[in-house]
């Protein structure tokens, strides 16, 4: 999704804006631009394509210098990626950048057109710029204008605004789209995310939706609609620049996969007390879970896939009913929610628009909400009744890896807590499983990372194919769903995941000579049935690669072309096995020479519906 950076300070802002945009590249974008307050007024430089194209453009404009400016990376929603649709956008009295979607832009555009306004781009943002500019003409006060104009806008937004008659000053307002504000002794910053300000400061403000931020150099103020100044408390980043850099790895994705053992320990250890789950949340640690009704897990993409694993564990360990919903479906299907139900939202970023909307829906129905979130202070974290943080650290690669592992680990702890509270598992059994999660599994993931050469070899074979299938049963079918998403999103190879028993109900007709089929087996009790599935697809010519817990490989004769042995007992194997599937996806994309960290059409943080 779009990235915003703004600077007001004592130096030329252009290199600062470009560096800041560089740190936001992970969000996904297709064009970039900056606006600078130069000696001759505000000048805009923008272009379709990567940041390098913008850098080249700026080289031909030595006059692009000034101490106040905004920068933007655009992920196209309204209108194709093009120079003209890129941000910043201008009205006659202001220039702005925007992240989000203005849903009623067509109505506003019509109204502005009847007033004589004309438009050069196809974007909703240009309409917003001209609308705010129109309001400014009437009100004349920059802060009041933003509050008033925001009331007319439907949808989500974070705006960074420079009014042409307010030199050296940045204004910002947000609704449902992320935006932070920071200051040093000599400058003020606005940004979509923390990496953009990390080389300047580790402290930042997270303005809510009820304030306008005004920055003039290091003079930073927040105002409420009444005009009163609002004091916000600064938050401190608890990870450093290093954590947001590649540290010698060729890609963030590979680095983040290698961080999984640490991320797992960092997430599990603080959530254990005397060896059993403890969340520091009264409802979870007390008796609050005793009479819980249905648990609704709601999330998007990879986070939703973690929810599928969570459901399997909660139902298996605690025998409590769990529904898993895609957030964009949940919010529109008028879900049946009972007062004692619990809605669990899972999100790495905590800013995913559909997940946030699902959370608000659940709250509006009076149902208790629990968020499992990686970004401290993010919108989902702030709005949920309770939060369990995962401690994966910053995830920069678009394809989520370590965040999935810690989401699953948190759900497993939650399932064990439920099992204990409901008398379905002894304290000793809970303790043994918690210890495996904290001690053995990180080590097993580290050992799995040693399988890199074998996985790279398989990737070389896979890259030649157009279709790949993933099959498994039970928990393994959920690992297949996430493993195939990982491969398709970064290699662009068409992959499908199927419950192995479902194959012969139609899909097997797609298997032909040489079609790669990935088979996953961690479920010992279902191994024989999955092995029958291997025989079925091999009889149709499939090339079978079986990822299985080493104990399963020892016990059964597996008729696969290639076996990837996961060094973990069957019960612990799902998480390390996912590490291996993530590496397979990584190496396939790498071997195909693709942009592993920034796959086409995708954004890291999906802050629009
Ligand atoms: C895929 C991926 C996405 C996200 C999804 C939800 O690798 O990263 O499917 O999982 O967009 O994002 P969060 O977890 O930030 O809500």
Domain boundary assignment for the chain: 3-244, 252-425, 450-591
pLDDT of residue 43: 96
Domain 3-244 has CATH 3.90.226.10: no
The mean per-residue pLDDT over the stretch 7-14 comes to 97
* pLDDT cut 90: percent of the chain above it: 83
Centre of ligand 1 from the C-alpha of residue 496, in Å: 18
- CATH architecture, range 450-591: 3-Layer(aba) Sandwich (3.40)
Residues contacting ligand 1 via CB (< 6 Å): 300-303, 347-349, 352, 355, 399-400, 489, 605-606
pLDDT of residue 242: 64
pLDDT of residue 585: 98
**Terminal Cα-to-Cα distance of the chain (whole angstroms):** 11
Sequence-distant (6+) residues with CB within 8 A of 49 are: 30, 31, 32, 81
CA distance 530 to 552: 12
- Within 115-251, where are the H helices? 124-139, 142-152
The protein residue whose alpha carbon is closest to atom 16 in ligand 1 is 347
Extended beta strands in 274-423, E state: 276-277, 295-299, 322-326, 342-347, 368-373, 386-389
**Catalytic: 546?**
no
CATH of range 252-425; options 3.40.50.300, 3.40.109.10, 3.40.640.10, 3.40.50.10490: 3.40.50.10490
Residues 384, 389, 394, 398, CA torsion sign: negative
Closest atom of ligand 1 to CA, residue 403 = 14
Closest atom of ligand 1 to CA, residue 407 = 14
Catalytic residue (one of 109, 130, 486, 604): 604
Residue of 192, 251, 300 to test ligand 1 pocket, by largest number of atoms within 8 Å of CB: 300
Closest atom of ligand 1 to CA, residue 486 = 7
Average pLDDT taken over every residue of the chain: 94
Sequence-distant (6+) residues with CB within 8 A of 152 are: 104, 108, 131, 135
Condensed to tens digits (0 to 9), the pLDDT of residues 480-495 reads 999 999 999 999 999 9
The protein residue whose alpha carbon is closest to atom 7 in ligand 1 is 399
Closest atom of ligand 1 to CA, residue 302 = 10
Centre of ligand 1 from the C-alpha of residue 302, in Å: 5
Closest atom of ligand 1 to CA, residue 399 = 7
Is 77 a residue whose pLDDT tops 90? no
At 279, is the secondary structure helix, strand, or coil?
coil
Centre of ligand 1 from the C-alpha of residue 399, in Å: 8
Residue 416 main-chain phi, psi, to 5 deg: -70, -40
Q: Check: CB of residue 294 under 8 Å from CB of residue 322.
A: yes
Centre of ligand 1 from the C-alpha of residue 183, in Å: 30
pLDDT of residue 51: 94
Is 508 a residue whose pLDDT tops 90? no
CA distance 271 to 290: 19
Q: Check: CB of residue 333 under 8 Å from CB of residue 327.
A: no
Centre of ligand 1 from the C-alpha of residue 297, in Å: 15
The protein residue whose alpha carbon is closest to atom 3 in ligand 1 is 301
Q: Which residues pair with 543 in a beta bridge?
A: 516
Centre of ligand 1 from the C-alpha of residue 602, in Å: 10
Six-digit token string for 344: 């669990």
DSSP secondary-structure letter at 88?
A: P
The protein residue whose alpha carbon is closest to atom 6 in ligand 1 is 300
Residue of 303, 405, 608 to test ligand 1 pocket, by largest number of atoms within 8 Å of CB: 303
Is 339 a residue whose pLDDT tops 80? yes
Centre of ligand 1 from the C-alpha of residue 358, in Å: 15
Radius of gyration, CA atoms only, the chain: 25
Q: What is the DSSP string of 168-181?
A: TEEEEEEEBS--EE
Closest atom of ligand 1 to CA, residue 301 = 9
Residue of 27, 257, 301 to test ligand 1 pocket, by largest number of atoms within 8 Å of CB: 301
Closest atom of ligand 1 to CA, residue 605 = 15
The mean per-residue pLDDT over the stretch 436-461 comes to 96
The mean per-residue pLDDT over the stretch 159-174 comes to 97
Is 240 a residue whose pLDDT tops 80? no
Centre of ligand 1 from the C-alpha of residue 140, in Å: 41
Q: How many CA atoms lie within 13 A of 179 on its CB side?
A: 31
The protein residue whose alpha carbon is closest to atom 9 in ligand 1 is 301
CA distance 184 to 203: 9
The protein residue whose alpha carbon is closest to atom 10 in ligand 1 is 302
Residue of 304, 348, 357 to test ligand 1 pocket, by largest number of atoms within 8 Å of CB: 348
CA distance 266 to 109: 50
| Domains 3-244 and 252-425 belong to one CATH topology | no
The mean per-residue pLDDT over the stretch 48-54 comes to 94
pLDDT of residue 40: 87
Is 241 a residue whose pLDDT tops 70? no
Centre of ligand 1 from the C-alpha of residue 549, in Å: 27
Q: pLDDT confidence of 146, banded at 50, 70, 90?
A: very high
Range in 29-33, 128-132, 438-442, 559-563 with the lowest mean pLDDT = 29-33
Range 41-54 burial, b when 16+ CB lie within 10 A, else e: ebbbbbbbbbbeeb
The protein residue whose alpha carbon is closest to atom 5 in ligand 1 is 301
Residue of 302, 376, 484, 581 to test ligand 1 pocket, by largest number of atoms within 8 Å of CB: 302
Condensed to tens digits (0 to 9), the pLDDT of residues 261-271 reads 989 998 999 89
**What is the pTM assigned to this prediction?**
0.80
pLDDT of residue 587: 98
Residues 252, 257, 262, 263, CA torsion sign: positive
Is 452 a residue whose pLDDT tops 80? yes
Centre of ligand 1 from the C-alpha of residue 131, in Å: 33
The mean per-residue pLDDT over the stretch 165-169 comes to 96
Extended beta strands in 500-570, E state: 516-521, 543-549, 562-566
Closest atom of ligand 1 to CA, residue 348 = 14
**Catalytic: 216?**
no
Catalytic residue (one of 2, 13, 434, 548): 2
Condensed to tens digits (0 to 9), the pLDDT of residues 383-432 reads 999 999 998 988 889 999 999 999 999 999 999 999 999 999 999 999 99
């Amino acid at each position: 999704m779009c990235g915003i950076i703004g600077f007001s300070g004592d130096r030329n802002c252009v290199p600062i804006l470009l560096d800041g945009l560089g740190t936001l590249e992970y969000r996904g974008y297709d064009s970039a631009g900056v606006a600078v307050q130069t000696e001759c007024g505000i000048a805009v430089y923008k272009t379709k394509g990567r940041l390098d194209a913008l850098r080249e453009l700026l080289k031909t404009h030595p006059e692009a210098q000034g101490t106040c400016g905004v920068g933007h990376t655009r992920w196209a929603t309204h209108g194709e990626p093009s120079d003209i649709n890129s941000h910043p956008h201008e009205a006659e009295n202001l220039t702005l950048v925007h992240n989000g979607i203005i849903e009623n832009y067509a109505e506003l555009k019509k109204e502005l057109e009847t007033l004589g306004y004309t438009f050069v781009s196809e974007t909703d943002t240009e309409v917003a710029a001209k609308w705010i500019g129109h309001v400014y003409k009437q009100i004349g006060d920059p802060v009041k204008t933003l509050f008033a104009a925001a009331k007319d806008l439907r949808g989500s937004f974070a705006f960074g605004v420079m009014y042409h008659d307010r030199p050296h000053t940045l204004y910002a307002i947000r609704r449902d789209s992320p935006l932070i504000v920071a200051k040093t002794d000599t400058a003020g910053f606005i940004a979509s995310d923390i990496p953009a300000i990390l080389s300047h400061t580790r402290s930042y403000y997270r303005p809510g939706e009820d304030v306008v931020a005004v920055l003039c150099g290091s003079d930073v103020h927040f105002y409420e609609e009444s005009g009163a100044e609002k004091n916000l408390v600064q938050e401190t980043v608890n990870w450093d620049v290093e954590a947001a850099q590649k540290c010698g790895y060729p890609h963030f994705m590979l680095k983040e996969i290698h961080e999984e053992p640490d991320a797992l320990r960092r997430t599990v250890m603080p959530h254990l007390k005397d060896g059993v789950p403890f969340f520091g949340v009264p409802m979870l640690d007390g008796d609050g879970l005793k009479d819980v009704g249905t648990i609704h897990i709601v999330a998007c993409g990879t986070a939703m896939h973690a929810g599928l694993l969570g459901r399997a564990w909660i139902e298996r360990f605690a025998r409590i009913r769990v529904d898993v919903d895609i957030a964009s479906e949940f919010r529109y299907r008028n879900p049946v929610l009972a007062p004692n139900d619990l809605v669990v939202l899972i999100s790495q970023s905590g800013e995913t628009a559909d997940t946030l909307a699902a959370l608000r829906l659940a709250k509006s129905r009076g149902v208790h909400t629990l968020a499992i979130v990686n970004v401290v202070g993010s919108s989902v974290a702030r709005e949920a009744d309770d939060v369990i943080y995962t401690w994966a650290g910053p995830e920069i690669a678009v394809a989520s890896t370590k965040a999935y592992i810690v989401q699953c680990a948190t759900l497993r702890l939650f399932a064990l807590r439920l099992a204990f509270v409901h008398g379905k598992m002894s304290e000793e059994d809970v303790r043994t499983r918690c210890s495996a999660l904290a001690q053995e599994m990180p080590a097993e993931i580290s050992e799995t990372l040693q399988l890199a050469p074998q996985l790279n070899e398989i990737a070389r074979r896979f890259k030649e194919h157009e279709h790949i299938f993933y099959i498994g049963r039970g928990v393994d079918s959920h690992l297949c769903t996430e493993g195939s998403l990982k491969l398709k999103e970064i290699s662009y190879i068409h992959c499908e995941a199927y419950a192995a028993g479902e194959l012969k109900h139609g899909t097997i007709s797609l298997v032909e000579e040489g079609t790669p089929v990935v088979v996953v087996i961690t479920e010992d009790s279902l191994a024989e049935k999955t092995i029958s599935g291997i025989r079925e697809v091999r009889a149709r010519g499939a090339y079978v690669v079986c990822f299985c817990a080493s104990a399963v490989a020892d016990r059964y004769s597996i008729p696969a072309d290639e076996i990837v042995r996961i060094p973990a007992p069957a019960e612990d194997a799902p998480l390390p096995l996912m590490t291996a599937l993530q590496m397979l996806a990584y190496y396939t994309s790498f071997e195909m020479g693709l942009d592993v960290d920034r796959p086409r059409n995708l954004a890291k943080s999906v802050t629009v519906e």
